[in-house]
Structure 1
Amino acid sequence: MEPPPGLRRQGENTVCRLNKSLYALKQASRNWFSTFSDTIQKAGYQQSKADYSLFTKAQGTSFTAVLIYVDDILLTGNDLQEMEHLKTFLLKRFRIKDLGDLKYFLGIEFSRSKKGIFMSQRKYALDILQDSGLLGARPYNFPMEQNLKLTPTDGALLHDPTKYRRLVGRLIYLTVTRPDIAYSIRTLSEFMHQPRKPHWDTALRILKYVKGTPGQDWGGCRATRRSVTGYCVFLGNALISWKSKKQTNVSRSSAEAEYRAMANTCLELTWLRYILQGLKVLQTVPVPLFCDNQAALYNAANPVFHEHTKHSEIDCHIVREKLQARMISPSYVPTRFQLADVFTKALGKDQFVTLRDKLGLHDIHSPT
């Protein structure tokens, strides 16, 4: 920063001491969050240990929750009087503005109906299509060809790789509300360093799929032979969490790959359990965990199944620990009904559309 006018420098080593945090400095967001956290806790709110951005207050049947992202705040609860009291409390300490009912947050649109609350990024998706010049393109029914195998070496290098990186980066944020493209975008994100024409063509196909709906495969990677972990978590009929991520190690069998995926799912379930406890949603029964590999289920249930699991990392056996603690209840599901396949492989049109619909995705802007 430059010294203010009129300040005479005392030498090259002279610095200015800030008595107040300034916007856009590296420490500004940390200082703001620390100030907000201290203030809201003085109002009787408790900070969640599972998510430090979540604050809750429970008194008898009254419950209020506050979620903060930088300077954007969400407030909800079942006690309107307490919510008004908190807004008054914050107004006395910060310069904030009440925007009313939740409609738009971090680029995500929220709509309400008798079936519940719907999240979408329709405007964000249309902006991407417009910037890419594909608003008039013919839409596709599914995002990626079933037998498509993308590699780091096939095809000509793009003359301008920045356009690919920018597009994939924007599509990554679109997966916040679009689990149906999570696997495809995860695949494309592997080629950011040297994108080639097949990668670009696939990205454009995904965009054409998005235009039509704007509102675990062992050893599946030809380059690394690492499997893809995919899972989805429902709270009632609502999809609340999902993941598509390449595993860090090469699995020796499909059973081991599935077992690793079950372990990652257990970690997510453990975190979600803590979040739900803070929101006063208690889990009194084991969580059903569906897997389409019988051998992986045997590994989880049988602690002496040594020959097939002695090479697995210790952290994978968290599945057994959660099973013995009655936190999960593993069950077999046929592959054709496994919803997680949307996150682990490219599917044919019919199977993709069937599983996508079962995930609970709806286009609220489509005619009925």
Structure 2
Amino acid sequence: MKKFSYQQANTDHTLFIKHRAGKVTLLIIYVDDMIVIGDDTAKIEELQKCLAFEFEIKDLGSLKYFLGVKVTRSKHGLFLSQRKYVMDLLANTRMLDCKLADTPIVENHKLGVYVDQVLTNKERYQRLVRVFIYLSLTHPDIAYAVSVAIQFMHSPSDDHMAAVMRILSYLKSAPGRGLLFLKNGHLDLEGYTNTDYARNITDRHSTSGYFTFVGGNLVTWCSKKQNVVSRSFAEFEYRWIAQGVCEI
């Protein structure tokens, strides 16, 4: 790609970009699957010919499905979802007939590490959490619940497994939920941060989150327990606001 005068992105080394006369062409690759997109039709055709000369490739046409993510197009914009991925997960975990949950995690939960906790199947727990991490690509609504589950990967208990199964029950309530990218007619950049001061019952660390929007569409989000204990609410707020600004 560098030989074709494409620049490798610093934020994602699998993304390559080329600008020409106010237009842009992008290629992103995962192993042997790639997406080529942009508004420079001539450069896209040129890139396809160059790649076909170097490798044996197959053009699958307009993007519809990529790495478990379904892309649905309309006159309004794009909709990304992982419905099939969710349904396959529910089938594999025998949760297709489970009772539905209206939230991915119990409000004001008391999840932590206790001396008398009953341990659960560690391998199964870790496998499910890793799947949820991938599902978070189109489900920002489970980001916080997943960030909590990740904290107990080393020694999960029955209570932690119950929290993971609740995420499955929540996904079952709307397996087709996803991200809608609309043509809003602007490219305004917006960022929001939120904090949960010293709520972790085990180590008193705080949990923070941010959302960023471009053109009214959600593009990045994060929910994470902070690495240090903040000595005041003001310090905690400023620390995460700074993180949100860095993301912008």
- Kindly indicate whether residue 194 of structure 2 is the aligned counterpart of residue 240 of structure 1: no
- Which of 12, 17, 21 is 1:60 aligned to? 21
Superposition CA RMSD, Å:
1.4
Structure 1 residue 114 displacement after superposition = 2.6
Aligned partner of 1:141 in structure 2 is: 102
Structure 1 residue 127 displacement after superposition = 1.3
- Kindly indicate whether residue 174 of structure 2 is the aligned counterpart of residue 213 of structure 1: yes
Q: How does 1:207-356 map onto structure 2 within 5 Å?
A: 207-215=168-176, 216-269=195-248
Structure 1 residue 46 displacement after superposition = 2.3
CA distance in 2, matches of 1:197, 1:78: 51
Aligned partner of 2:72 in structure 1 is: 111
Q: Per the alignment, do residues 125 and 43 of structure 1 end up closer, same or farther by CA in structure 2, a change over 3 Å counting? A: same
> Match of 1:241, SS?
strand
Find runs of 4+ consecutive structure 1 residues off by over 3 angstroms. Answer: none
Aligned partner of 1:171 in structure 2 is: 132
- Equivalences, count: 229
Give the TM-score of the pair, scaled to structure 1. Answer: 0.60
- Kindly indicate whether residue 193 of structure 2 is the aligned counterpart of residue 193 of structure 1: no
Mean CA deviation greater in 119-128 or 77-86: 77-86
Aligned partner of 1:282 in structure 2 is: none
Structure 1 residue 98 displacement after superposition = 0.9
Aligned partner of 2:56 in structure 1 is: 95
CA distance in 2, matches of 1:50, 1:203: 31
Structure 1 residue 238 displacement after superposition = 0.5
CA distance in 2, matches of 1:108, 1:143: 21
Amino acid at match of 1:250: V
> Match of 2:106, SS?
coil
Structure 1 residue 179 displacement after superposition = 0.7
The structure in which a higher percent of residues are helix is 1
Structure 1 residue 200 displacement after superposition = 0.9
Structure 1 residue 208 displacement after superposition = 0.5
CA distance in 2, matches of 1:114, 1:219: 46
Amino acid at match of 1:256: E
Structure 1 residue 76 displacement after superposition = 0.8
Amino acid at match of 1:80: T
> Match of 2:25, SS?
strand
- Kindly indicate whether residue 45 of structure 2 is the aligned counterpart of residue 45 of structure 1: no
Aligned partner of 2:185 in structure 1 is: none
How big is each residue's C-alpha offset from its partner over 1:203-243, in whole Å with a ceiling of 9 and x where there is no partner?
11111010011111100101111111200000021100000
The structure number with the bigger radius of gyration is 1
CA distance in 2, matches of 1:50, 1:163: 32
How big is each residue's C-alpha offset from its partner over 1:7-43, in whole Å with a ceiling of 9 and x where there is no partner?
xxxxxxxxxxxxxxxxxxxxxxxxxxxxxxxxx2222
Structure 1 residue 103 displacement after superposition = 1.1
- Kindly indicate whether residue 117 of structure 2 is the aligned counterpart of residue 155 of structure 1: yes
Structure 1 residue 257 displacement after superposition = 1.3
Q: Per the alignment, do residues 118 and 94 of structure 1 end up closer, same or farther by CA in structure 2, a change over 3 Å counting? A: same
Instruction: State, as a whole percentage, how many aligned pairs show the same letter.
Output: 43
Aligned partner of 1:69 in structure 2 is: 30
CA distance in 1, matches of 2:161, 2:173: 19
> Match of 1:222, SS?
coil
Give the TM-score of the pair, scaled to structure 2. Answer: 0.87
Structure 1 residue 44 displacement after superposition = 2.7
Structure 1: tracts of 5 or more residues without a match: 1-39, 270-368
Structure 1 residue 172 displacement after superposition = 1.4
> Match of 1:42, SS?
coil
Q: Per the alignment, do residues 172 and 62 of structure 1 end up closer, same or farther by CA in structure 2, a change over 3 Å counting? A: closer
CA distance in 1, matches of 2:168, 2:13: 35
Amino acid at match of 2:10: K
Structure 1 residue 50 displacement after superposition = 3.5
> Match of 2:123, SS?
helix
Q: Per the alignment, do residues 95 and 239 of structure 1 end up closer, same or farther by CA in structure 2, a change over 3 Å counting? A: same
CA distance in 1, matches of 2:229, 2:10: 33
